[in-house]
Structure 1
C-alpha cells in the first residue's frame, strides 16, 4: 500500500480487524471522500472474503460492473480502492461476483452513512463533517442526567407518526421540522429523555425500523445525516437526552442488505437453526465471527460518537440469549455444553456493554429482555451482562393484566400488583408502557381500561399514578400521555384533536404533574434501585383493593406516602399509618377536578394523629377517592 492508502488501513488496523477489536471500523470501511495522489475522490472498502471480484457501480459510471474494480487487502477479506472524481452525493453499490457458483449481486454498503429513500436501495456517498454542534453544556453534564439516581422519564417516539403535515398530503415532518416541535412538547410535559424507535435505515415502513439495513445511516425519510445531527442538537439544547433503539438481534433478508452478502452466509449463520428467525423472517447475526463483532460494536459507538446519542436501548435481547427462542424441539442446536444459552451472543453483549461504558461512561445501555435471565443490568465482573438498565416486562404484564379486570374482580388478583416488589431491586428496572402494548389488536392504553367513559379515564390516571410512584424509571409511548383512543398507526399522526376535550387534557395534565413530582422529589427517583427507597405500609387489603406504600430518598426523613384505591367506591374515613406526626400535605390527587376527576380529596392535607396504625406511631384519617391515586408529603415543620 502507498503511504496515502495506509491512512485507511495500517498494519495495526488490520491486526485489530482480524481479532475483532476494530471498534471504530466506520473510519476505515465504507465510502470516504478524501484526496489521494493529488486528486479528489472517494476511498471505498467492503468486506467480502468469498468474492472472486468486487467493483463499485453507481450513477458516476452508468451502473456498469467492472468499470471501477476494487482490490483485495492482504488476507483480510476486505476489498478496497480509490475512485478519483467521485464526490459526495454520488449513488453507489458494490457489485459482487462470488467464488461460489458464480453468484452475482449488487449490495448496498454495510458501512454506508446515507441511503436513498425507499423503495430505492443505493447507498449515498456522504461527508459527515461540517456540522457545528451547540450542545457543549449538555455533553458536560449528561452523566448526571443519565445516572441511576436521576429522575428518568422517557417519552418513546416514532418519528414518522408523532406528528405529520396533514395540510401537505399527510407527509412526514423532517428532522429539522420535528426537532423544535418535539423539544418544546417534551419540555412542557416534563419528560427527561426521548427514545426513538430505530432511525437506522430500513426498507419497510411497517417494520418501524426494527428490520435494519443501514446500521450506520439515519433514515433518509426525514432528511440528511446533518439534519439528524441538528435534531439531536436541538434536543440537547433543551436539556433532553436522546436514546436510540438499536437492533443487533436480527436483520432483514432484502437482497441489497447484509444477507448472503458475498454468495455465502457472511454476517449470518448458514444453518437456519442458528441463523434465521421464523417469527420475524429475518437473519440472525453470527456473534462468533470477529468481523461481525467489529461491525456491530462499531455501529453502537458510531451513534454515540458521531451523533452525540445518550443511550442505546437494545431490542429483543431474549432472542439473542436463548438458542431455542421461539423454536420447537429439533429446530435449534444446543451449545457445546448441551444447554440452550447462546454463548457467543452472551459474550458479545458483555463486550458491547463493557466497550460502551469504557468509551462513553456518561451514556446508558438499556435491555429489552423479557425473561428472568439473571443480572442483566449488573456489571460483567460480577457475572452480569453489563447493561445499565432493563425493561421490567414482568411488571408491565402483571399490572396491565390487573388493570384490565373489572374492579369488582380485582380483589382476586391483588398479587398481580404486589408481586413486583419481590424482585423490584434485582435489576435496574425501567417501567415501560411502550409501542408494543398498543399494536396488533391490543388496543390503546385508554381502550384497555374497564368501565364507562369516566371510569376509563380514572383507571388510566390511577395506573399512571401507580407507575410513577413505583420503584423504577419510567417510559411512556407517545399518545399514551393524553389517552389516544385508537391503536397506534405508523402511517398516521397521533390523534392530537382529542386535546379539544377536557378529559384528554386532564389526563395530559396529570402526566405533566407526575413528571414534575418525579423530578422535584428525590424520594421518587433517588433510590429507585435500592430497597431502602421503598416500604410497604399496607399491601394486604385485597378486599378493598387498596395499596399503600412509602417512598424515601437518601435522607431518611424525606418520605412520601402513596395511597391507591382500585375500585370506584370512595373509602372514607380511611386510616393510614405514618412515621411522623404533624401536618401531611396532599401533593397530588388523580381525582382532582383539574384532571377530570370527581373532586374528592383531603382539602390540601391532613393532620397526623397520635393513633398507632400499620405498625407506625401516627396515622392519617383520609378520604381515598374512587379509582384514584393520592400522594402525601410531610410539611417541613412535621415533628419527628
Structure 2
C-alpha cells in the first residue's frame, strides 16, 4: 500500500471523500494530466474498495495493463497511479481483479469524456481548458433573485431539435449558434437540456446514464459544450441540466458491481432494483456515493458554469415502494416506506449547492405529495428552491381534452390549483413526458376541429402563462407540433410553412415577449398576494377572470379566459380601480390565426363606475369563444371615467 502524499494526493481530501464530505471529488478522482518529476503524465485515481487489484489499460499500452498496476492508498478504498508520457486524448479503462479472481474492464466513474457509443472507453480530458466570457452574466445572477424574476424555460433534446438525419447529430458548437439565437428570438429566459451525461442507448434520452461526469460524445467535446453554455450566458440565457441521481444503467462497463461488489447500488438488491426501468438505484446511505453525487452537481456548475439542475424522479428516490412489485418491497428502520437515506441525501445536496452557488436553481421533478419540498432544510424541508407542479399539469391537460360543452361540470380542474399554488415554489411544466409514448402532442390533445385545436392551444398557453408559477415548454410546442415527439428525428420544422402553425409560432413569440414585459406575471409568483380571483364561480359559462399583481401598487393585469364555445359580445368584469385597461394580448387576434381584427384585439377600455364582482368599477368587453385576453392597467390619471372602447 502507498500513502496519499507519495502518490501526489491529499490525505485530507481522501478522508473527506470517505466521509461523504468531499464536494469537489472530481479534482482528485478520475484521470488528471499532471507534472511529476519534470515529466508530463496522467494520474489515474479510482474508488474500488473490494478489488484485489486494479490496473489501467488503454491505447497507450495496447490494452495490456500488466505494466500499469495501481497502488491502494491506505484503507481508503482508493487506488491511484501516475503514468508518464501520456496526456489528453488517451483512451483507457480500469481492469479490476475481483476477490474471486474475475477480470472486469470498467469505464471510469469520474471520466470527463467518453468514446462515442457503442464504444465505452473513457478519454483523458483537461477540466479547465476553456476561457470563459460570461462574467457579466454571473454578476447579474448575484444581484437578482430567481423568485422575483421571469423564468420561461425552453426544454430541449439536443439530438432531435435539429439534425441532418438519423444519428447525424448537430454538435454543441452548432447549437451554440443556431439554438441560442433561436431561443433569444423566442424570448425564453432559460434552456433546459435533457440529460447530456454519457449514456449507451439513444432512446433513453440520457435518463439511463453510465458516465455522470462525461458530457455525451454524441454532440461533440466537453469544450464545445462549454462554448454552448458560454454563448447562452453572453446572450442572457440561463442553462439548466436535467440531472438523474435516482438510478443508473446496468451495462457491464458501468457502475454496476464496479469492483465485483455492489458499491454504488448497495448490498440490498431489493432496494437497488428498479424493474420498471431495468436500472439500479444508488445507495444514498453510502458516504462515498454521497461524495460522488454531490460533487457531480457541483461539477456541472463549476466546470461547465450551468445555472441549475432539474432533479429527475424525486418521488422514486424517496419512496421505497415506488413502481415496485410487492416482492421487492423493503422498509426503513421505523417500519415505513420512506427512503430516509435519500431524504437525508437530498437535503445535504441542496445545502451544499446553495453554500457554493446561492442563486442556483435546484428544481425537483416530484410527483409525490411530500410536503415542504421547496422549504429550507432548517425548516424541515428538502431544500429545493422550485418544484414542478405536476398536479396543475395533469388537471389542465385533462380539462383541455374535454369537449367544451362538458367543461361546466369539471370547472374545478381549472380552479383547484389555486388552493395550493403557493404551498411550494412551482414551475408549470409542459414537458417532453407529456408528448411521447402515445400521449399525443399538446396540439393533438386539444378537443374539437383542426381550427378549434389551435384556438384551444392558444387559450391554454395564455392561461398557463398567466397562472402563478415559472414556466417550461418542450421544444416543438411553440408552433403546435402535431405529431408527438419523435426522439430519433428532427422536429417538424416544415410545419412553420403552414398557416396555422406559423401563426401559432407568432403567437407564442408574442406571448413570451408579453410575459417578459409584464412584471405582474412573475414578480410575485411565490407570494399569495400576487394573485386574486375576480370571478372563480362561473362554471356555467366556463369563464374565469383573475388578477395578477406585481410589487408596485399600480402594477397589475387582468386575465379573462373563455373555455367555452359561446361568444359573449358584452361581458362585464370587475376591476380594482378606475382608469384605462389596455389589451396587451388577445389569443383570437387574426395575426395569431384567430377571427378578431387588429382593431378588435388591441383595444383600450375605460372603466365605468358600475360595481361588479365585488369591485368598485368594471369594464365590458367582447369575449369570443375559446379565447384568452390579457388586460394591463394603464398608469396615470384616466382622461374619462366612463365605459367605451378606443383603438390602442
Give the Cα–Cα distance (whole angstroms) in 2 for the partners of residues 125 and 491 of structure 1.
Answer: 29
- Answer yes or no: is the 8 Å Cα contact 2:405–2:565 preserved in 1: no
2:515 corresponds, among 514, 518, 537, to 518
- Answer yes or no: is the 8 Å Cα contact 1:375–1:427 preserved in 2: yes
SS at structure 2 position matched to 1:563: strand
SS at structure 1 position matched to 2:14: helix
Map of 1:594 onto structure 2: 591
Paired residues for 1:188-207 under 5 Å: 188-207=185-204
Paired residues for 1:167-178 under 5 Å: 171-178=168-175
Q: CA deviation at 1:7?
A: 7.7
Residues 279-337 of structure 1, C-alpha deviations (whole Å, 9 max, x = no match): 11100000001100010011000000000000111000000011111124342111111
Map of 2:611 onto structure 1: 612
Paired residues for 1:222-621 under 5 Å: 222-599=219-596, 601=600, 604-621=603-620
Change beyond 3 A, Cα 1:306–1:505: same
Give the Cα–Cα distance (whole angstroms) in 2 for the partners of residues 496 and 144 of structure 1.
Answer: 38
Residues 501-553 of structure 1, C-alpha deviations (whole Å, 9 max, x = no match): 12112111211122112211110000001000000001111111110000001
Q: CA deviation at 1:14?
A: 2.4
Q: CA deviation at 1:487?
A: 1.0
Give the Cα–Cα distance (whole angstroms) in 1 for the partners of residues 330 and 596 of structure 2.
Answer: 60
The 4+ residue runs of structure 1 with deviation greater than 6 A are 1-4
Give the Cα–Cα distance (whole angstroms) in 1 for the partners of residues 344 and 396 of structure 2.
Answer: 33
Map of 1:153 onto structure 2: 152
Change beyond 3 A, Cα 1:108–1:2: closer
SS at structure 2 position matched to 1:560: strand
Residues 172-220 of structure 1, C-alpha deviations (whole Å, 9 max, x = no match): 1101011111111111110000000001111110000001111111111
Which ranges of structure 2 fall in alignment gaps of 5 or more residues? Answer: 642-648
Give the Cα–Cα distance (whole angstroms) in 1 for the partners of residues 226 and 156 of structure 2.
Answer: 17
Give the Cα–Cα distance (whole angstroms) in 2 for the partners of residues 373 and 7 of structure 1.
Answer: 46
Map of 2:95 onto structure 1: 95
Map of 1:72 onto structure 2: 72
Give the Cα–Cα distance (whole angstroms) in 2 for the partners of residues 189 and 145 of structure 1.
Answer: 22
Give the Cα–Cα distance (whole angstroms) in 2 for the partners of residues 634 and 56 of structure 1.
Answer: 68
Give the Cα–Cα distance (whole angstroms) in 2 for the partners of residues 377 and 4 of structure 1.
Answer: 40
- Answer yes or no: is the 8 Å Cα contact 1:602–1:622 preserved in 2: no
Residues 7-64 of structure 1, C-alpha deviations (whole Å, 9 max, x = no match): 8422211221221101110010010111112221110011111100110001111111
Map of 1:51 onto structure 2: 51
SS at structure 1 position matched to 2:328: coil
Give the Cα–Cα distance (whole angstroms) in 1 for the partners of residues 575 and 17 of structure 2.
Answer: 61
Number of positions where the alignment pairs a residue of Structure 1 with one of Structure 2: 637
Q: CA deviation at 1:638?
A: 4.7
- Answer yes or no: is the 8 Å Cα contact 1:8–1:27 preserved in 2: no
- Answer yes or no: is the 8 Å Cα contact 2:128–2:303 preserved in 1: no
Residues 449-470 of structure 1, C-alpha deviations (whole Å, 9 max, x = no match): 1111110000000000000000
Map of 1:626 onto structure 2: 625
Q: CA deviation at 1:555?
A: 1.7
Determine if the alignment matches structure 1 residue 23 to structure 2 residue 26. Answer: no
Give the Cα–Cα distance (whole angstroms) in 1 for the partners of residues 412 and 265 of structure 2.
Answer: 43
Change beyond 3 A, Cα 1:107–1:4: closer
Change beyond 3 A, Cα 1:597–1:213: same
SS at structure 2 position matched to 1:151: coil
- Answer yes or no: is the 8 Å Cα contact 2:374–2:386 preserved in 1: yes
Give the Cα–Cα distance (whole angstroms) in 2 for the partners of residues 385 and 202 of structure 1.
Answer: 28
- Answer yes or no: is the 8 Å Cα contact 2:7–2:80 preserved in 1: no
Change beyond 3 A, Cα 1:51–1:543: same
- Answer yes or no: is the 8 Å Cα contact 1:392–1:431 preserved in 2: yes
The CA RMSD measured in Å over matched residues stands at 1.5
Q: CA deviation at 1:145?
A: 5.6
- Answer yes or no: is the 8 Å Cα contact 1:162–1:493 preserved in 2: yes
SS at structure 2 position matched to 1:173: coil
SS at structure 1 position matched to 2:270: helix
Change beyond 3 A, Cα 1:4–1:352: closer
Give the Cα–Cα distance (whole angstroms) in 2 for the partners of residues 433 and 8 of structure 1.
Answer: 49
Give the Cα–Cα distance (whole angstroms) in 1 for the partners of residues 6 and 637 of structure 2.
Answer: 71
Which ranges of structure 1 fall in alignment gaps of 5 or more residues? Answer: none
Give the Cα–Cα distance (whole angstroms) in 2 for the partners of residues 635 and 263 of structure 1.
Answer: 70
- Answer yes or no: is the 8 Å Cα contact 1:4–1:36 preserved in 2: no
SS at structure 2 position matched to 1:161: helix
Determine if the alignment matches structure 1 residue 122 to structure 2 residue 121. Answer: yes
- Answer yes or no: is the 8 Å Cα contact 1:152–1:473 preserved in 2: yes
Map of 2:644 onto structure 1: none
Give the Cα–Cα distance (whole angstroms) in 2 for the partners of residues 18 and 398 of structure 1.
Answer: 45
Change beyond 3 A, Cα 1:170–1:71: closer
Residues 133-158 of structure 1, C-alpha deviations (whole Å, 9 max, x = no match): 11111111124566111100000000
Change beyond 3 A, Cα 1:144–1:596: farther
Q: Which has the higher mean CA deviation after the structures are superposed, 176-185 or 10-19?
A: 10-19
Q: Which has the higher mean CA deviation after the structures are superposed, 265-274 or 200-209?
A: 265-274
The TM-score, its normalising length taken from structure 1, stands at: 0.97
